[in-house]
Structure 1
Amino acid sequence: MSGTLRIDRVVTSGVFQLDGGTWEVENNVWLVGDDDQVVIIDAAHDAESITEAVGSRTVVAVVCTHGHNDHVTAAPRLAKECYAPVLLHPGDEKLWQQSHPDEKFWPATDEQRIAVAGTELRVIHTPGHSPGSICLHLPEAGVLFTGDTLFSGGPGATGRSFSDFPTIISSIRERLLTMPGDTRVHTGHGDGTTIATEAPHLDEWIARGH
């Protein structure tokens, strides 16, 4: 590895659109890499801010944790400018088509490894918030990027098209809460958390049903 592994966050602002509604949102864009290489996680809203944070580094891939427009806004543009593939789980193709009907992506599949800066991000399929939602595990750093699957305080929203509450609960229980408690959770919006902080509240989430 040519440099120290680091994780950078870029916060961007824009509009989330689905089912005829619009909401102003702030998104976390995560950059994982070193001084030479980087993976972009969730190319949200503002391509300029993201490319500024990338700098002169080679972009290995633009990975989308799911297909909602606020997480893929700038993905095709960044892919073209950085000569990098866009990776998205095929389960979210319908959502992708709503935003980018003329653009293609490469499939991100469960247990796929994405090599960057001498380490690997592991793809974990966690449907529920959307059919193709994924999380990305970086064991070397003890970090999990959860997109909109798991937040500080509970699971992501499941009240809109293509989402399902029992499915997201199963994904979190079976794929995420089995990780070490000190795993740091970097979310798609807002502040992060840890697995140990969230795990004791699973039954509460189920009881309230959202």
Structure 2
Amino acid sequence: MTSGPVTLDDEKFTVEVNSWVVGDDDAVIVIDPANDAEAVLKVVDGREVMAVVCTNGRDNVLSTVLEVASDEERGDAEILLHRGDRSLWRDFFRQLALETEDEELKSLEPDQYLEDGGTFEIAGIQLEVLHTPGFTPGSVSLYSEGDAVLFTGHTLLRGKPGSIGDEYPELHTQLNSISAQFGQIPGDTRVLPAQGEETTVGEEADRWESWYSLSNRSDEDA
């Protein structure tokens, strides 16, 4: 877990992020490295990073992806992001290009775009990509049916949908994603979110219908 700034509508918030390292003794994928590449690489502990998966394109996640993916001996790992967050990616790296005077960053793109229903495998663990927009347009979750594990990013946390401070960027869309994508997943599936403690699909399913009142309040405030 690391902590650092994330930007929403030009306002800075401090957000804690759980970065997940999934694999075996030889190779891993890293899900949502954020804020502190050194801390993430300490957990990787010299294993080969096969891919860096961003469940969203917020700046706190993108700030570490190049360093975590970099490997001079083996070659850089692929960086994966959903196309829905392409504009967030471009905004971040164009700004970084200005700050570092590195013109190449202006044209940098993810190595691969994640697609809803796509799958990839690491250490015998198969992960399915679920497009779960709301926190960002390109937010995704990763589901391993065989291992009964769901990495929800900031789409679903323990006891609440993911937010930035008290702000929900597109809460109604986010709640629809939760219902549509997670509603048929077995209740005993572990939920490993990008923030806070783990939970299960069943524990959260008992709560998420009540969260629509948050969406209604947001509409009234607007």
Alpha-carbon offset, residue 72 of structure 1: 2.0
Q: Establish whether residue 71 from structure 1 lines up as the match of residue 61 from structure 2.
A: yes
Q: Give, in whole Å, the separation in 2 of the partners of 1:69 and 1:129.
A: 13
Q: Establish whether residue 138 from structure 1 lines up as the match of residue 156 from structure 2.
A: no
Equivalent residue for 1:3? none
Q: 1:199 aligns with which of 194, 199, 205?
A: 205
RMSD of the TM alignment (CA)?
1.6
Provide Cα deviations, 1:105-142, integer angstroms capped at 9, x if missing partner. 02011111121112211111011111100000122321
SS at match of 1:190: coil
Q: 1:32 aligns with which of 11, 14, 22?
A: 22
Any runs of at least 4 consecutive aligned residues in structure 1 with deviations exceeding 4 A, and if so which? none
Q: Give, in whole Å, the separation in 1 of the partners of 2:124 and 2:208.
A: 35
The structure in which a higher percent of residues are helix is: 2
TM-score by length of 2: 0.84
SS at match of 1:110: coil
Mapping 1:1-80, distance limit 5 Å: 11-80=1-70
Alpha-carbon offset, residue 70 of structure 1: 1.5
Number of equivalent positions? 198
SS at match of 1:111: coil
Q: 1:166 aligns with which of 153, 161, 172?
A: 172
CA contact (8 A) 2:29 2:122 kept: yes
SS at match of 1:186: strand
TM-score by length of 1: 0.88
Structure 1 unmatched ranges of 5 or more: 1-10
Q: Establish whether residue 95 from structure 1 lines up as the match of residue 100 from structure 2.
A: no
Q: Establish whether residue 104 from structure 1 lines up as the match of residue 103 from structure 2.
A: no
The structure in which a higher percent of residues are strand is: 1
Residue 109 of structure 2 aligns to which amino acid in structure 1? K
Residue 16 of structure 2 aligns to which amino acid in structure 1? E
Structure exhibiting the larger radius of gyration computed from Cα positions? 2
Alpha-carbon offset, residue 165 of structure 1: 2.1
Residue 135 of structure 1 aligns to which amino acid in structure 2? S
SS at match of 1:145: strand
Structure 2 unmatched ranges of 5 or more: 95-104
SS at match of 1:140: coil
Residue 29 of structure 1 aligns to which amino acid in structure 2? S
